[in-house]
Amino acid sequence: MKFEVTIMGCSSAAPTKNRNLTAQVLNSDDQLFLIDCGEATQMQFIKYHIKYSRINRIFISHLHGDHYLGLVPLLFSYHLFGRTKSLHVYANAALEEIIHLQLKASDSALGYPLIFHPLAENKSEMLYDDDKLSIISFPLKHGVPTHGFVFRQTNAQLNLDTTKIKGLNLTHEQLQTLKQGSDVIAENGQLITYKSITLPQESPKIYAFCTDTAYSLSVVHFVKDADLLYHEATFMHHMLKSAEEKHHSTTLQAGEIAKRARVKRLLIGHYSARYDDLRPLLNETATVFPNVELAEEGKTFII
């Protein structure tokens, strides 16, 4: 089952020549989830061939401009393209008023239901849960109310081993029963155990998204054992004082969170515009947590 994240932007605060603002697309079995939506995210969708009509849920970490100012343009474009299916937006409550004021100014009503879910401040909530994925929010430490998100595969269903079901004449209902972990009796009276016909279950994967945040050990609990943790690393560690003043993290701090949470892989991003070359950020983080990669535009990370 597909479970991967593609980076649309990785710059902090303002765009640079080569880097756009924060936005990531999580693909879970071809359902797309958008995480943050900086200015020009829709242009990035076009550039990187993202089928963005498939996005039904959008998660906004906080209301600093670089994380959400691409949202209202995207809402308008969906309307122009004739979207009719619901769009769910999870964000700080203040965003709802911003959206409605901008719709009013353009004398527009969207042609599809926009369902706004205000995020509870200073706590963790279950935002979404189906038979493939659950999504929770958790609080980060930043200048304004800010949330991280954890996307966890639920994998309630098993996958059939297609090489073994041929010739058994099983009905659609029987196949569904097997996928749910129960045995069935075939037409010829033979007992078919679900274990004999399904693939060994992969352990459900976890993606954790953490931006923007000051160094905060309370994050460790929420992102524990993630297969992939995205953690911001706005600055090299010698800029610790700037990071603290601006409620951001350094390379070494991102690595430290990854190490303490025992995640499998770390992805850093949200780089300050002062860095042209990102390798020093990667190398410094690796001194604490070696299995680290750079979030870069257009790159897809399989989780």
d(CA 228, CA 4): 10
Which residue in 2, 14, 262, 300 binds a copy of itself (CB under 8 A)? 14
Which residue in 2, 29, 43, 193 binds a copy of itself (CB under 8 A)? 43
Positions 155 through 214 that interact with a copy of itself (CB under 8 A)? none
Which residue in 111, 113, 143, 298 binds a copy of itself (CB under 8 A)? 143
Which residue in 118, 123, 131, 144 binds a copy of itself (CB under 8 A)? 144
d(CA 12, CA 30): 28
68 CB burial (10 A radius; 0-12, 13-18, 19+) = buried
53 lies in the site for a copy of itself, by CB under 8 A? no
d(CA 123, CA 106): 35
Quick one: 43 or 186, whose CB is closer to a copy of itself?
Answer: 43
- Closest by CA to 298, choosing from 16, 31, 3, 49, is 49
Q: What phi and psi, each to the nearest 5 degrees, are found at residue 239?
A: -95, 25
In whole angstroms, the minimum distance from the beta carbon of 217 to a copy of itself comes to 24
Q: Would you say how long the chain is, in residues?
A: 303
CB 151 within 8 A of CB 161: no
Quick one: 60 or 288, whose CB is closer to a copy of itself?
Answer: 60
Quick one: 49 or 166, whose CB is closer to a copy of itself?
Answer: 49
In whole angstroms, the minimum distance from the beta carbon of 47 to a copy of itself comes to 8
Tokens standing for 295?
């979030």
Positions 76 through 115 that interact with a copy of itself (CB under 8 A)? 76-77, 80-81, 92, 94-95, 97-98, 101-102, 104-107
* Stretch (H or E) spanning 25: strand 23-28
d(CA 232, CA 275): 14
d(CA 207, CA 231): 11
In whole angstroms, the minimum distance from the beta carbon of 273 to a copy of itself comes to 9
Cα 33 to the center of its chain, rounded Å: 6
- Closest by CA to 139, choosing from 221, 74, 201, 196, is 221
Give me the residues paired with residue 71 across strands: none
Which residue in 6, 24, 42, 213 binds a copy of itself (CB under 8 A)? 42
Quick one: 212 or 256, whose CB is closer to a copy of itself?
Answer: 212
Q: Is 129 a catalytic residue?
A: no
CB 262 within 8 A of CB 225: yes
* DSSP state, residue 85: S
# of chain residues touching a copy of itself (CB under 8 A):
37
Which residue in 1, 69, 239, 294 binds a copy of itself (CB under 8 A)? 69
Question: Which of 29, 30, 36, 66 is labelled catalytic?
Answer: 66
63 lies in the site for a copy of itself, by CB under 8 A? yes
Quick one: 70 or 269, whose CB is closer to a copy of itself?
Answer: 70
Active site residues: 66
- Residues engaged in binding a copy of itself (CB under 8 A): 13-17, 20, 39-40, 42-43, 46-47, 63-66, 69-70, 72-73, 76-77, 80-81, 92, 94-95, 97-98, 101-102, 104-107, 143-144
